A and B are shown apart, each in its own frame.
Chain A
Amino acid sequence: MELVLIGLNHRTATLELRERVAFNAEQACMAAEQLRARGILEETLVLSTCNRSELYGVPPETTADSAAAMELFLASFHRMNPDELGGSLYRHRDLDVVRHLYRVAAGLDSMLLGEAEILGQVREAYRIALDHGATGPVLNRMFQGALEVGKRVRSETEIGTRPVSVAFAGVKLSERIFGSLKNHSALILGAGDTGELVVTHLRDRGIGGLRVSNRSIERGRDLAVRFGAETVAWENVPKALAWPDMVVTSVTSAEPVLTRAMVERAMEARGNRALLLIDLGVPRNVEPGVAGLYNVYLYNIDDLQEIVEQNKRARAAEIPRAETIVGEHVDKFLNWQAGVNSSVVLAGLRERLAAEREAFLAARMGDLAHLPAADRARVARLLEEFVDRVLLDPVERLRGERELRRKLQNLEALRDLFRLDQGKS
């Protein structure tokens, strides 16, 4: 049982090259079908995201260099010269394939360490391949293991928990104060890019109410329509501050948009309900003195950037724990593989001994020609029983062997001594 992987990702290939060898769902199915139809692979799966394109497969046992055949196929499928791919492709075999896939599913091989989307993409690629019958027992086992690894790494480590973008950090901060955002509201002042990203995240997290205000009325209306929010006239902002739990500002202005006096009055009007101010403006939109007001939490772009940097370091610190989980599941796969191998080897051994027994009987029965047919049949049966008895103890010991390395060594020895692979290649 051999496993092969060829692919390229954000580390080995330029964006332009990644775009050229990307597969959409339809192409992935087509490629899988062709790879099997041409006899290059018996089981196959195409994993293609914006950062990677990878072909996973189990080649027929007779194929000498399946990776080379896969590379040629990849180039021809995308109508490229194989030389264009050569330097950018990585090739893995057997356990390295398993480890690679498990690291991908864990987010350890992602551009943004620990990102969650990749697990969904692996799940989707597997679902498509499964639906089209492109996978078999080996890839099924390996991809189910990968999904398990992805889930475990995300629930048992913090590799993907803390936000690593400024916009998301702002939203996660609001959840530190208010918990679920469903019963809370936000006021967006201005229309910077990061501000828009914050709104997208707020929407995703189910923010209860959203209002938008902009100096340009038209632009404000445009934003409100786009975000599904209400508009607030710019001159009414001081009064409107009594309403939201969170204010996001990204206004281009030399002077602060929100002064201490303005926020102080708003806090009085809102009965000192907690207020989170996310100031994304440069120069700052909120007077620094506002941070001293009771129940006001003020974060500017530098504060958020610092949080992002801390979180990136925290994610990196989780790598060893995630790698341990990957290692555990690679061992699990290896164990399963050894179990499957032992069944194959033992079946081969029985077949071999049965053939030897038949040959032996055929050669020696001539000497027993004087015996009645019933006696000769009994001799044959006794010989069969004898072979079974001789095999009984070694087979039990082999199956019961708990140490994986020893089990694999024993299987290899059996294969080698009894020449079980002969006649297959």
Chain B
Amino acid sequence: MTNYLVLVLATLACYAASLGCYVRFLYAPARPVGRAATFALSGGLILHYFALLARSHMIHGVPYDDLAGSLSLFAWLLAATYLCLELVLRQKTVGAFVLPVVLALFVFAHAFATPGTAAPPARGAIFALHVTLNILAYAAFALSFVASLIYLIENRMLRDRRLGPLGWRFPALDALEQLSRSSVRVGLASLTIGVATGFVWAHRLLGRYWDDDWKVGITLLIFAAYAAYLVLARTGTWRGARASALCVANFVFVIFSYSIVNLYLSRFHRYL
């Protein structure tokens, strides 16, 4: 327990330091500060991984048996996905917007969520794949949410002809649009496989593929909403700010699915 607590606190410190550096970098983009932000985030990711592992050993099961573990994995995947994109795109300004989400998820996972076990008993490779891929999809949607939000802010600045200091530091609108679309594509692919493995797992456990559970319904709604975003973003009427606004709005379903549905409405995905 002590080791686990130390890992959680060390991870928290790294993420907080990374957030501080990213925010500082946004206002005064000095290269050492940017490097420190990435370094702290990488450190946080490594420590976070070991924290998840320690949790797994503690509860003798997968680390996402409960809401806390699930949110923690969500935060880890979001941070990892962002880091990969940062290294590929060489664009650090988005970090100041992603890290607050990572930090909030991590803090909520470890401070407020009550540990418990999911019902029915969650074990096995298919279940692990099902949960991990769905959470990866949510992480990708979270990233598209952040990219679209920045798009809307920057677009407003450009339209109003008031760029200010931040306007010159954001990525280009085109890059943000691409980032958002790529994230949604990754999210939809993960969600598709995640849902499919969920059906297989349900069949093994319950003897039927389908069960009228809130989680299934909301997941299909999320799928439809993000698929609609991808299609509409290519049409003349929606391309640009409208599609980005839709992407931001879609994330409400993800939050609803993760909070209200998981906590109160779902029978098979409820954390207790």
Chain A residues in the interface with B (C-beta under 8 A): 155-158, 161-162, 172-173, 175-179, 268, 271-274, 291, 294-295, 297, 299, 303, 306-307, 310, 314, 321
Task: Pick the residue among A294, A299, A321 that contacts B28 (CB under 8 A).
Answer: A321
In Å, the complex CA distance between A175 and B173 comes to 9
A100 to B29 CA separation, bound complex (whole angstroms): 25
A/B interface sample: 12 pairs, CB < 8 A: A156-B32, A173-B158, A177-B158, A179-B174, A179-B175, A272-B236, A272-B239, A272-B240, A291-B159, A295-B240, A297-B158, A299-B161
Report the Cα distance A321→B175, complex, angstroms.
30
Chain B residue at smallest Cβ distance from A269: B236
> How far apart sit A307 and B28, CA to CA, in the bound complex (Å)?
19
Chain B residues in 8 Å Cβ range of A162: 168
Task: Assess whether A314 is in contact with B236, with CB atoms less than 8 Å apart.
Answer: no
Docked-complex contact B163 and A295, CB < 8 angstroms: no
Bound form: Cα–Cα A162–B161 in Å: 15
- In the complex the two chains form, what is the Cα distance from A178 to B236 in whole Å? 17
- The answer to whether A157 and B239 touch (CB under 8 A), given A176-B154, A297-B159, is no
Kindly state the separation between the CA atoms of A156 and B28 in the bound complex, as whole angstroms. Answer: 8
CA distance A142 to B10 in the complex (A): 43
Among all A-B residue pairs, the 7 with the closest Cβ atoms: A179-B172, A271-B236, A272-B236, A156-B30, A179-B174, A303-B161, A295-B240
Contact B239 A176 (CB under 8 A): no
Give the distance to chain A from B182, nearest Cβ to Cβ, in Å: 14
Give 14 A-B pairs besides A156-B31, A307-B163 with Cβ atoms closer than 8 angstroms: A162-B168, A172-B168, A176-B167, A177-B174, A178-B172, A268-B236, A272-B236, A272-B240, A295-B239, A297-B159, A299-B161, A303-B161, A306-B161, A307-B161
**A148, chain B: closest CB distance, angstroms:** 13
CB closest chain-A residue, reference B175: A179
What separation, in Å, do the CA atoms of A178 and B240 have in the docked complex? 12
Q: In the complex, what residue of chain B is closest to A161 when comparing beta carbons?
A: B168
CB pair B172 A177 closer than 8 Å? yes
Most chain A Cβ neighbours within 10 Å, of B154, B161, B175, B235:
B161
Contact with A along B23-39 (1 / 0, CB 8 A): 00000111110000000
Number of residue pairs A-B, CB distance < 8 angstroms = 62
Contact A176 B236 (CB under 8 A): no
CB 8 Å contact bits of B168-191 with A (1 = contact, 0 = none): 101111110000000000000000
- Could you tell me the distance in whole angstroms from the C-beta of B215 to the nearest C-beta in chain A? 37
Distance from A222 Cβ to chain B, minimum over Cβ atoms (Å)? 33
Chain B residues contacting A177 (CB-CB under 8 Å) are 158, 172-174
Q: Mark interface residues in B4-38 (1 if CB within 8 Å of A CB, else 0).
A: 00000000000000000000000011111000000
Bound Cα distance A238, B127 (Å): 59
Closest partner residue, chain B, to A298 (CB atom): B161
CB distance from B42 to the nearest CB of A (A): 21
Q: Which residue of A lies closest to B240 (CB)?
A: A295
A279 to chain B, nearest CB (A): 12
CA distance A205 to B167 in the complex (A): 20
Residues on the B chain within 8 Å of A314, using CB = 165
Q: In the bound complex, how far is the Cα of B163 from the Cα of A162, in angstroms? A: 11
Which residues of B from 128 to 183 have beta carbons under 8 Å from A? 154, 158-159, 161, 163-165, 167-168, 170-175
Which partner residue on chain B sits nearest A177 by CB separation? B173
Is B163 a contact of A176 with CB atoms below 8 Å? Answer: yes
**What B residues does A274 contact at CB under 8 A?**
173, 240
In the complex, the answer to whether A158 meets B29 with C-beta atoms within 8 Å is yes
Interface string of B239-272 (1 = CB under 8 A from A): 1111000000000000000000000000000000
Whether the pair B31, A155 counts as a contact (CB closer than 8 A) is yes
Smallest distance from the beta carbon of A143 to chain B beta carbons, Å? 22
Complex contacts, B239 vs chain A, CB 8 Å? 271-273, 295
Question: Which residue of B is nearest A271, CB measured?
Answer: B236
Q: Is B3 an interface residue (CB 8 A)?
A: no
Q: What B residues does A306 contact at CB under 8 A? A: 161
Q: Closest CB-CB distance, B176 to chain A, in whole Å?
A: 9
Q: Which one of A176, A272, A303 contacts B173 once the chains associate, using CB atoms below 8 Å? A: A176
Across the interface, do A178 and B174 meet the contact criterion of CB distance under 8 Å?
Answer: yes
Interface residue? B237 (CB, 8 A): yes
CB neighbours of B235 from chain A (8 A): 271
B169 smallest CB distance to A (angstroms): 9
Chain A residues within an 8 Å CB radius of B172:
175-179
Q: Once the chains are docked, how many angstroms separate the CA of A53 from the CA of B174?
A: 45
**Which chain A residues border B242 with CB–CB below 8 Å?**
294
Which B residues lie within 8 Å of A297 (CB)? Answer: 158-159
Give the chain A neighbours of B164 by CB distance below 8 A: 310
Q: A161–B163 Cα gap in the complex (Å)?
A: 14
Q: How many angstroms from the CA of A273 to the CA of B177 in the assembled complex?
A: 13
How far apart sit A162 and B166, CA to CA, in the bound complex (Å)? 12
- Least Cβ–Cβ distance between B104 and chain A, in angstroms: 29
| Chain B neighbourhood of A172, CB < 8 A | 168
Give chain A nearest CB distance to B153 CB in angstroms: 12
What's the Cα separation between A310 and B163 when bound, in Å?
10
Asked whether, in the complex, the Cβ of B28 is within 8 Å of the Cβ of A176, the reply is no
CA distance A347 to B240 in the complex (A): 72
Shortest Cβ distance from residue B211 to the other chain A in the assembled complex, whole angstroms? 43
Assembled-state Cα–Cα distance A321/B32 (Å): 14
| A178, closest chain B residue (CB) | B174
A297–B159 alpha-carbon span in the complex (Å): 6
> Which residues of the other chain, A, contact B175 by a CB distance below 8 angstroms?
179
Query: Which residues of chain B are within 8 angstroms of A173 by Cβ–Cβ distance?
Result: 158
Q: What's the least CB distance linking A184 to chain B, in Å?
A: 9
Residue-wise interface mask of B (106-127) relative to A, using a CB-CB cutoff of 8 A (1 in contact, 0 not): 0000000000000000000000
Report the bound CA distance from A274 to B174 in whole Å.
9
Q: Which residues of A contact B165 (CB under 8 A)?
A: 314
How many whole Å from B152's CB to the nearest CB in chain A?
13
* A157→B25 CA distance, assembly (Å): 11
| Nearest opposing residue in chain B for A162, CB measure | B168
Shortest Cβ gap from B168 to chain A (Å): 6
A295 and B168 in contact, given A157-B30, A321-B28 (Cβ under 8 angstroms): no
Task: For B239, give the chain A residue with the smallest CB separation.
Answer: A272
CB distance from B189 to the nearest CB of A (A): 25
| Residues of A contacting B31 in the complex (Cβ-Cβ under 8 angstroms) | 155-156
